[in-house]
């Protein structure tokens, strides 16, 4: 199971590599997952200090 999470983490980090940032919606679309799933992965990566969440807006 750890390898599965590692692959997802790596895919999200690859999406962000070389960009000025990307929305959770766009990450989800590129990786074939829901925006909510992308938010969840991003939250875990942020807790680990691997990404920084820099922009949040009310809907």
Q: Is the dihedral of CA 41, 47, 53, 58 positive or negative?
A: positive
Any alpha helices (H) in 1-59, and if so which ranges? 2-16, 24-31, 35-47
- Residue 1's pLDDT is 61
For the chain, give every domain's residue range. 2-47
Instruction: Quickly tell me which residue has 């809907």 as its tokens.
Output: 59
Q: What are phi and psi of 20, to 5 degrees?
A: -85, 5
List the chain pLDDT tens, one digit each, 59 residues. Answer: 678 789 999 999 999 998 888 999 999 999 999 999 999 999 999 999 999 998 888 88
- Residue 38's pLDDT is 96
């Amino acid at each position: 199971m750890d390898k599965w999470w590692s692959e997802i983490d790596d895919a999200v980090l690859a999406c962000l590599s070389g960009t000025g940032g990307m929305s959770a919606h766009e990450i989800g679309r590129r990786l074939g997952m829901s925006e909510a799933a992308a938010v969840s992965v991003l939250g875990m990566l942020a807790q680990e200090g691997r990404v920084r969440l820099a922009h949040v807006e009310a809907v």
